[in-house]
Structure formats: structure tokens, C-alpha cells
Amino acid sequence: MELYLNFKHFFSAIFGGVICIVYFTFISESYSPNPQNDNTQQEHVTQTTVPLCNSLASKSESLKKDSLEAEKISELEATVMHLQSVVESLEYRLELKETIKTELAKVNTAVDKINKAREQIDTALQGAEWSEAEIEEAYPAPFDRYVKKTKGTLREDYQSFQVEPTNHEWAFDMEAKIRDFFTLHEMAYLVEINILECKTYRCQIGVLVSEPEKKPGKRIFDQMTLEPWFIFQTHSRVSILDNNIKTVGVLFFFEGLPL
């Protein structure tokens, strides 16, 4: 019995030793350096690093190109904006030039009308005398008394106005604007239009006034000269007095370009 136990222990010891030898051999082989594996790993690293470097270089070059292209685009955009500004300026100048040409054509047409009207006036007034009867026919009282007393250039203006040809379209439109302005004014209740006539480039208006101390005729006319349609360059205003030196009316006479 004792011999059997000793043999069993001996066998167990031998078997354990074999197992230990096999185990350490396996572990040693697993962790021992392998030149082939090192080369393989180095080759793998090289194969991974080279394409990465190439990729980074390619991206860097691409970024440089993108930067240059962005600068060129920025320069082109600035050039385009400048050219657009130049074009807009030229277009504005062309529009302004066309506007000036149009307005100049209107002025030339108006001047031609005035010159033709003056030629007709000069022809009609050659050697003509203006009698008091003709004045009374042209101007109702109390305006006739004032006109009879006029002399020189002022009298010639009133007389020439009587023979001035009439541009009916322009005259009708201007008379309507003047009448409307007077009648719609806040002081209209203090004036009464007694004379209102336009011809080719001149108009005259005579108003009877009440409460002359408030100067309704002057105030209405002065405000009317600020209207955009009032195109008269010269105008005169005369107070009409009665026998008691009291203002009973105002006579306005004005001329300009019939635009």
C-alpha cells in the first residue's frame, strides 16, 4: 500500500513538470521577438504614414489654391462693384442729359412762341394810338382810371397786351389755376375777381378788395407765386384807389415762359 502511494506521488510530480515545461514553452514562443513580424509592422507603418503625408501635402496645396482663388474672386467682386457704380453714374448722367434736353426743347418752343407773338404785337401797334375810349372798353372801372394815367413802358405793356395773340390751350389752363387759387384761399371772401385774362405769355388779374388794411389781394398773390405752376419771371402789382385815396382794388400784371 505504501509503495502504491509513493508511485502515485512520483507520477503526479512528473506529469506536473511536463505541463509546466509545455506552458512556459508556449508563453515564451508567444512573447519572443519575431523579426518577420517587426518587418511587417514597420512596413505597415510606412505604408500608412506615406499616404497620410501625401494627403496632408495635397490638402495644403489645395488650401493654397483656394486662398489664391478667394483673393482673385474678392478682387473681381470689387472690380464688378466699381464698374456697377460707374455704370449707375453714367446712366444718371444720361438721364439728366435727356431731362435737360427735354426741358431745353420746351424753353426753346416757349421762346419761339413769345418771339412770334411779339412780332404780331409790333405789327399791330405800328402807328396806333390808344384812346381813352379803347382803355375804357378794355378795363372796367375802377381799373380804367389807373390805366389812363400810365405812361411810357408801363402803358405800352398794357396796350400791347390788348393785341397779343392768344394761345387758347395755355391761357385756359392758366386762368383756371389762378381762379381756383384765389377762390379757394382762406381770404377769398375779401376779394372779388373783376379781371382775369391770359394770352400767350402774359396774364393780368384785377380784384376788388374789402378790408384793404388786411391786404388780401397782395397776400393771396404772394402765396400764389410759390406754386410750382407759377412760371412767371416778372410781375407788378398796383393798388387802385378811389377818390378818397382808399384802396378798392389791386391790378396784377405778369409775364413769363409759357411752358
- Shared domain check, 157 and 229: yes
Residue 229 vs residues 14, 204, 235: alpha-carbon distances, Å: 133, 16, 15
- Shared domain check, 205 and 182: yes
CA distance 229 to 254: 14
Q: Is residue 4 part of a domain?
A: no
Each residue of 162-189: b (16+ CB within 10 Å) or e?
Answer: bebeebeebbeebeeebeebbeebebee
Question: Taking a C-beta distance cutoff of 8 angstroms, is the pair 143, 249 a contact?
Answer: yes
What pLDDT does 15 receive? Answer: 47
- Shared domain check, 145 and 56: no
What pLDDT does 4 receive? Answer: 42
- Shared domain check, 245 and 144: yes
Domain count, the chain: 2
- Shared domain check, 161 and 91: no
**What letter represents residue 225's amino acid?**
T
Enter the C-alpha cell of residue 229: 405752376
What pLDDT does 54 receive? Answer: 67
Q: Is residue 5 part of a domain?
A: no
What pLDDT does 23 receive? Answer: 46
Residues of the chain with pLDDT below 70 are 1-54, 56-57
Q: Is residue 67 part of a domain?
A: yes
DSSP-based helix, strand, coil % in the chain, nearest 5: 70, 15, 15
Enter the DSSP assignment of 126: T
- Shared domain check, 163 and 105: no
Q: Is residue 194 part of a domain?
A: yes
SS3 state of residue 40 = helix
CA distance 221 to 237: 9
Nearest to 206 by CA among 242, 246, 179, 233: 179
- Shared domain check, 148 and 103: no
Q: Is residue 19 part of a domain?
A: no
- Shared domain check, 138 and 80: no
What pLDDT does 51 receive? Answer: 63
Question: Taking a C-beta distance cutoff of 8 angstroms, is the pair 211, 197 a contact?
Answer: no
Residue 155 vs residues 18, 98, 151, 251: alpha-carbon distances, Å: 154, 42, 5, 14
Identify the domain containing residue 169 by its residue range: 132-256
What pLDDT does 190 receive? Answer: 97
